[in-house]
Structure 1
Amino acid sequence: MPAAPGGPRLLLRRLREAMAEPVSAQARLDRIVVLIAANVIAEVCSVYVLRDDNTLELFATEGLNRDAVHITRLRADEGLVGLIARQAEPLSLSDAQSHPNFSYRPETGEEIYHAFLGVPLLRAGNTLGVLVVQNKTYRVYSDEEIEALQTTAMVLAEMIASGELQALTPGAGSAARRPVSQRGVALADGIGLGHVVLHEPRIVVKRLIAESVELEVERLEAAIEDVRSAIDELVERGDGIGSGESREVLETVRMFAHDKGWLRRMREAVQSGLTAEAAVERVQSDNRARMLRQSDPYLRDRLHDLDDLANRLLRRLVGQETGSVAAMPENAILVARSMGPAALLDYERANLRGVVLEEGGPTSHIAIVARALGIPAVGEIANATALCDSGDAIIVDGASGEIQVRPTPEIEAAYAEQARLRARRQAQYRALRDVPALTRDKVRIGLHLNAGLLIDLTHLAETGAEGIGLFRTELQFMVAQRMPSAAEQQTLYESVFAATGDLPVTIRTLDIGGDKILPYMPALEEENPALGWRAIRIGLDRPALLRVQLRALLKAAAGRPLRIMFPMVATVEEFTRARGIVDREKAHLRRHGYVLPSDCKLGVMVEVPSLLFQIDEIAREADFLSVGSNDLMQFLFAVDRDNRRVADRFDPLCGAAMRAFRVIADRATAVGCPVTVCGEIGGRPLETMALIGLGFRNFSMSPAAIGPVKAMVLSIEAEEVRAFIETELAKATDGASLRSALTSFAKAKGVPI
């Protein structure tokens, strides 16, 4: 076949002229298909748009029967067009009618055409439609023609995404604006209805078609060189990329920055007539489309590395630095690939109604902060930042882990009703605020709050909690730009004591390491950081860090009771060493005339399974125990709780877990050592009921859990639950879960769970 007259550059110039013409959207699209057909010497050019009812509608054609426009529709899995949409890859055939996916539509008149070339219309990796050219002859389309059509498809995708075509036919809108429902992982309970605010907004490429190809090549080369140099400098310094990522991530990004195939595709896209930024966007959209369809999690993870690199290039090309925090409109739902707690706290919380993340599990720190702030949050939503645009309507269901982007009026009404019902339930829970947490057989259950920020303490009065069962001091360190000084730490603790008044507060010493990396501390490369240098191990190996914190706590608590808890204790000896440091700090302050706490209780967080075999000794040595059920279950079952492949392989209500909890409750009670459950399961009514049956009487939980748990407590008889648990545990010889039996028991007794 002869070369196309003028090639893709001429086509793009003519497309730019057509886009600027003051005509209707349909007339513009009709003009575009004529231009494409003429440029690639095709007898047919057709544009199919993916509608929100998941059909592909013929929107314009040159060569087929024009009466079929807006009449012909294919299911998204039907025909060659559906195959291209599904696979998000070009398809070139010399005889389309012999392909098993060929779907004959008599109204189009395409039975005389044999050669077929179709490319997906991609934007941010999402398929918005398909562009097709056809010829009567049996022929093979060249790589240059495929490249030209892909370049043209990018321009059409932006036209579709702009919403310009939505008014062409009544009813369904284009796929770019269709409703999307996706399930991830629930991070923080609640329902949020609002509009999307992108944490790091996708850089919108406004200049698509090059004025001068030579100039665009120079701009691309300069941007590539600048980005490479910046990454090389980061690797040499060993810094993280903005938020402390490891050297391995930096090396991976550097590898992609020097990848010849990636760079070649961008240069070819520029040579076809796109601007440098449009070329980066087009190549990355192709990459995203392919990787999102990969089942290999490693390959899908590499998408984030490519996204990071593409965004760096785009920012350099459009002259835009890393975005600062956007102004927060009313009813905002924050959507991000990932973010740390400090970034979340930068936003205006009064208007924030929810958070959606591509990454982040239930025990991540962003999840902890979201729960503390009472903000519904969902994590592990694939491609979240590309599914929606700023301003899109969105619903976040923090209970089920679902999001609804651009919801239909029916779905929006249903969720609004759920939100109203939830508000009524919350009102019922608030009515229980001053009601003592007594079981029907008069057993008192202590309900306390988990906290880590001053804003958490406002929930004390709202919930009627009896105090703070766990104050996580590391959040102050994680949201700071540098290590907080002794004076800054003391000021925070004084504020905590002032806000809690006479209520008890249990303060956990710094629990960093593992997945809790401080941005201003060098990252430590470990094979298994969860089992590595973290928490009390860091405090004992670097006693100056622990001494500064303990001194700040002792000075802040002058004249009032103080409860200090040490995390990640694995042996009795570790606790006695930590207690020795406290004794030395008390002696130092006494010598210098400081007022000491009126009482100082020292406790241990039971989260390392080795303590189960030292439980008698540690219960006698410590003033109190707190069960950190999150880590205890993780270590007990050798399961990474943030790994979706294995996180559901055990149930905290299974026989093994329940027996471990029973050992702690029985032995602590036997020696008169108070014990509290402060992990996630202590805030779930069904699990809390089971733990009460095992003998636990104190729990610490998120503010939202206080009402539901108290309602459960008021409905049960502790002795009846104990007897039921004992019977079921005796039967659970295979370690099976008691969840089903406990649920049936609760329903039979009218216990709200």
Structure 2
Amino acid sequence: MPAAPGGPRLLLRRLREAMAEPVSPQQRLDRIVVLIAANVIAEVCSVYVVRDDNTLELFATEGLNRDAVHITRMRADEGLVGLIAKTAEPLALSDAQSHPSFSYRPETGEEIYHAFLGVPLLRAGNTLGVLVVQNKTYRVYSEEEIEALQTTAMVLAELIASGELQALSPGAGTAARRPVSQRGVALADGIGLGHVVLHEPRIVVKTLIAENVEREMERLEAAIEDVRSAIDELVERGDGIGSGESREILETVRMFAHDKGWLRRMREAVQSGLTAEAAVERVQSDNRARMLRQSDPYLRDRLHDLDDLANRLLRRLVGQESQNGDGLPENAILVARSMGPAALLDYDRARLRGVVLEEGGPTSHIAIVARALGIPAVGEIANATSLCDSGDAIIVDGLSGEVQIRPTPEVEASYAEMVRLRARRQEQYRALRDVPAVTRDGVKIGLHLNAGLLVDLTHLHETGAEGVGLFRTELQFMIAERMPSAAEQQTLYEAVYSATGDLPVTIRTLDIGGDKILPYMPALEEENPALGWRAIRIGLDRPALLRVQLRALLKAAAGRPIKIMFPMVATVEEFIRARDIVDREKAHLRRHGYALPSDCRLGAMVEVPSLLFQIDEIAREADFLSVGSNDLMQFLFAVDRENRRVANRFDPLCGAAMRAFRLIAERSAAQGCPATVCGEIGGRPLEALALIGLGFRDFSMSPASIGPVKAMVLSADAAEVAALIQSELTRVTDGASVRPALAAYAKANGVPI
């Protein structure tokens, strides 16, 4: 087989010249396929581009019938070209027509060609098109030729991604800039329209073709050595990458940094004529393409480690440090693989319109903070950071969990109208701010806020909430770089009391463990963290931690009433032990002359099913109870609410759940112990209506839920709902839900849900 004249380096130099020529995009593409065909000694070179309707279109060819350009189209899974686009793997055949996926297109005139070599046009792991060369003979393409064509494909992928080819074909646009609609998991309600800001932006490689290959190889080797040294130092110090990842992740990244196959592929890419940073980009794009198509979740998770390593190398090569939070444009929507609450708080909230994450569930730290800030957020959008570029138009629907990237004008107009409707509805809710939440038959319902940051407390005045039903103290710990001191904790609690004035505040003690791991505490490996060492269990096993917090709370509340609530209480004995620690702290403060709270009430969260069988006892011991419906439902049905496969397998309005809630309401009332609901279902109008029918009279919820729930309360009749629920629970014996009957009642009686 004859050698390619000049090899890949010469081809890349000629491609660079062709890219710089002042010609039309079609002329440039036609020139490029001629150059590639000549370099690899092929009779045919063709470029197929993925369109936004998921078809592959012939955009340029040398050797096939030129009249077929922009005429020949095929499905994304059709033919050999479709197979390459689907697998993102190169395909070399000495006799293409004998392959089962071969698809004959008579308009192209390709029936006389036998040998076939195709490679995907990849960018950030996404397939933008396919580059094909063909020969009449039954030739075998070498590994070197395949590698050279893949290197060339990277240059073409950047040309497609630039949008220059968008106008070459009527109808749909190219896949690189096509509208993308993705459905994930809703994290924080609201709709945000804006433009993409990448939290950790992809390094844009501007120079692809090397001027001096030897110099590029030296740059690559130096960058690899620097990154290895930096990772080795982190491992020795035990620091996390970013904020709080464990030592195991560091070890994995270090393992990849010494992987001989990964290093060899980058060196070969440089030898083919790419710059050092283009070589890193090309190899990582190939890795992404392969790993995104893996069904093994472990292998897909390793993609994040490889991405981290590639980004470290790229930052080293281009001399750019990671930077976040600075210079945020108007109407910014953050797109990130993952991020912690502290990182989100670094951004200018006045300019932030939404958050999109590849990771993160509804109860994650970032979701809690996003809801507190009133920022629409969606999680579990696979490959989000690679689907869009900085500046792309994007829409975040925090209600449905949908994300629209580069939306069509029609979609954008539809969402803009939804935003206007929501704004009008919010105006109606604001008009209800000072209206007491009383049902039509005169039952007073208390509506309180869930909070965890000082910024949450600004919503008290806006919503007309009657106080704070749940203040999560762990958020202060999660956004700090180290354990907050007793003085720092006291300062926060004093600020909370100052912001709430005379309104009541219920403060929950530290609820960490499970999925809430503090970045400065060593991660504890547990088989099932949700059922492990967390919340009150940590406080009782490490009483110094709980005592410091309780002392800070008691000192901050000097002279005014305080309500303290303990999370994850599983037995009455646990509550009594926690109460004894409070009594000892009060005695300590009294001995040292500190002013005590005017009244100190202690409560327990009902979120562990075991308390359902001790409900009379805990109601006698506690001053109040608060139902944490999120965990209670999770444990009651043995369903991980973060697991999308099972999270929707039960309805919180089914018979079993309703009977559990009824038991709590009835037995706590019988013992004279107030019971509130602070879980998410209390903030949803239909679910709150059901809970009112069961006897609950106080709810705590996110600020955005106050208006809708109050509107429901004002239109409902508590006695009618109670009778309906009682009737339904008597009738329901097969696990069915009371939802249909309740929804029908609401519709018939004009109750907004």
Fold shared per TM-score above 0.5: yes
Partner of 1:722: 722
Partner of 2:372: 372
Q: 1:662: Cα distance to partner?
A: 1.5
Matches within 5 A, 1:341-352: 341-352=341-352
1:638-687: CA deviation from partner (whole Å, max 9, x where unpaired): 22221222222222222222222122111111101011110111111111
Partner of 2:307: 307
State the distance in 2 between where 1:746 and 1:264 align. 66
Partner of 2:738: 738
Partner of 1:197: 197
Confirm or deny that 1:491 pairs with 2:515: no
State the distance in 1 between where 2:164 and 2:285 align. 21
Q: 1:751: Cα distance to partner?
A: 2.2
Partner of 2:284: 284
Matches within 5 A, 1:67-86: 67-86=67-86
Partner of 1:431: 431
Partner of 1:10: 10
Q: Which AA in structure 1 matches 2:355?
A: V
Confirm or deny that 1:673 pairs with 2:701: no
Q: 1:378: Cα distance to partner?
A: 0.5
Matches within 5 A, 1:236-255: 236-255=236-255
Higher alpha-carbon deviation: 672-681 or 587-596: 587-596
TM-score (norm 2): 0.97
Partner of 2:750: 750
Q: 1:109: Cα distance to partner?
A: 2.1
State the distance in 1 between where 2:139 and 2:436 align. 82
State the distance in 2 between where 1:479 and 1:203 align. 27
Higher alpha-carbon deviation: 417-426 or 223-232: 223-232
Q: 1:61: Cα distance to partner?
A: 1.3
Partner of 2:443: 443
Q: 1:578: Cα distance to partner?
A: 1.4
State the distance in 2 between where 1:208 and 1:565 align. 59
Confirm or deny that 1:323 pairs with 2:323: yes
Partner of 2:136: 136
Higher alpha-carbon deviation: 327-336 or 481-490: 481-490
Partner of 2:556: 556
Q: 1:249: Cα distance to partner?
A: 2.3
State the distance in 2 between where 1:246 and 1:733 align. 48
Q: 1:586: Cα distance to partner?
A: 1.6
Partner of 1:630: 630
Higher alpha-carbon deviation: 587-596 or 670-679: 587-596
State the distance in 1 between where 2:636 and 2:230 align. 44
Q: Which AA in structure 2 matches 1:364?
A: S
Give the 3-state SS of the residue equivalent to 1:34 in structure 2: helix
Confirm or deny that 1:421 pairs with 2:421: yes
Q: 1:334: Cα distance to partner?
A: 0.7
Higher alpha-carbon deviation: 183-192 or 631-640: 631-640
State the distance in 2 between where 1:732 and 1:117 align. 64
State the distance in 2 between where 1:633 and 1:36 align. 62
Stretches of structure 2 that go unaligned for 5 or more consecutive residues are none
8 Å CA contact retained: 2:439, 2:718: yes
Give the 3-state SS of the residue equivalent to 2:715 in structure 1: coil
8 Å CA contact retained: 1:284, 1:306: yes
8 Å CA contact retained: 1:568, 1:605: yes
8 Å CA contact retained: 1:199, 1:326: no
Distance 1:299 1:732, change over 3 A: farther
Q: 1:188: Cα distance to partner?
A: 0.7
Distance 1:326 1:120, change over 3 A: farther
State the distance in 1 between where 2:439 and 2:290 align. 56
Q: What is the Cα-based RMSD across aligned positions, in Å?
A: 1.7
1:523-578: CA deviation from partner (whole Å, max 9, x where unpaired): 22222222222211222222222222112211211211111111111221221121
State the distance in 2 between where 1:525 and 1:363 align. 20
Q: 1:170: Cα distance to partner?
A: 4.3
State the distance in 2 between where 1:749 and 1:232 align. 67
1:366-407: CA deviation from partner (whole Å, max 9, x where unpaired): 111111111111000001001111110000011100011111
State the distance in 2 between where 1:158 and 1:451 align. 46
Partner of 2:581: 581
Higher alpha-carbon deviation: 714-723 or 113-122: 714-723
Partner of 2:569: 569
Higher alpha-carbon deviation: 189-198 or 106-115: 106-115
Confirm or deny that 1:523 pairs with 2:499: no
Partner of 2:336: 336
State the distance in 2 between where 1:673 and 1:569 align. 16
8 Å CA contact retained: 2:181, 2:403: yes
State the distance in 1 between where 2:419 and 2:295 align. 36
Q: 1:222: Cα distance to partner?
A: 2.8
Give the 3-state SS of the residue equivalent to 2:32 in structure 1: helix
State the distance in 2 between where 1:450 and 1:242 align. 29
State the distance in 2 between where 1:562 and 1:387 align. 49
8 Å CA contact retained: 2:486, 2:552: yes
Q: Give the total of aligned pairs.
A: 753
State the distance in 1 between where 2:567 and 2:258 align. 44
State the distance in 2 between where 1:659 and 1:227 align. 58
Partner of 1:94: 94
Q: 1:171: Cα distance to partner?
A: 4.0
Q: 1:356: Cα distance to partner?
A: 0.4
Distance 1:47 1:66, change over 3 A: same
Give the 3-state SS of the residue equivalent to 1:193 in structure 2: strand
Higher alpha-carbon deviation: 518-527 or 554-563: 518-527
Higher alpha-carbon deviation: 310-319 or 505-514: 310-319
Q: 1:453: Cα distance to partner?
A: 0.8
State the distance in 1 between where 2:445 and 2:294 align. 50
Give the 3-state SS of the residue equivalent to 1:289 in structure 2: helix
Matches within 5 A, 1:214-225: 214-225=214-225
Q: 1:267: Cα distance to partner?
A: 2.2
Q: 1:707: Cα distance to partner?
A: 1.1
8 Å CA contact retained: 2:473, 2:510: yes
TM-score (norm 1): 0.97
State the distance in 1 between where 2:249 and 2:723 align. 53
State the distance in 1 between where 2:304 and 2:646 align. 22
Partner of 1:695: 695
Confirm or deny that 1:593 pairs with 2:597: no
State the distance in 2 between where 1:238 and 1:491 align. 31
State the distance in 1 between where 2:688 and 2:259 align. 53
Q: 1:73: Cα distance to partner?
A: 2.6
State the distance in 2 between where 1:584 and 1:273 align. 73
8 Å CA contact retained: 2:325, 2:348: no
Q: Which AA in structure 1 matches 2:533?
A: W
1:260-315: CA deviation from partner (whole Å, max 9, x where unpaired): 33222222222222122211111111121122222332222222122112112222
Q: Which AA in structure 2 matches 1:107?
A: E
State the distance in 1 between where 2:154 and 2:187 align. 36
Q: Which AA in structure 1 matches 2:560?
A: R
8 Å CA contact retained: 2:33, 2:46: yes
Task: Indicate the percent of aligned positions where both proteins have the same amino acid.
Answer: 89
8 Å CA contact retained: 2:569, 2:605: yes
Matches within 5 A, 1:103-182: 103-182=103-182
Higher alpha-carbon deviation: 110-119 or 217-226: 217-226
1:325-354: CA deviation from partner (whole Å, max 9, x where unpaired): 232111111110000111000000001111
Higher alpha-carbon deviation: 262-271 or 552-561: 262-271
Higher alpha-carbon deviation: 686-695 or 337-346: 686-695
Higher alpha-carbon deviation: 114-123 or 269-278: 269-278
Q: Which AA in structure 1 matches 2:671?
A: V
State the distance in 1 between where 2:731 and 2:240 align. 52
Q: 1:242: Cα distance to partner?
A: 1.7
Distance 1:219 1:537, change over 3 A: same
- Give 4+ residue runs of structure 1 displaced > 4 Å after superposition: none
Q: 1:69: Cα distance to partner?
A: 2.3
Give the 3-state SS of the residue equivalent to 1:389 in structure 2: coil
Q: 1:509: Cα distance to partner?
A: 1.0
State the distance in 2 between where 1:546 and 1:428 align. 43
State the distance in 2 between where 1:252 and 1:742 align. 52
State the distance in 1 between where 2:303 and 2:40 align. 33
Partner of 1:475: 475
8 Å CA contact retained: 2:94, 2:114: yes
State the distance in 2 between where 1:641 and 1:232 align. 37
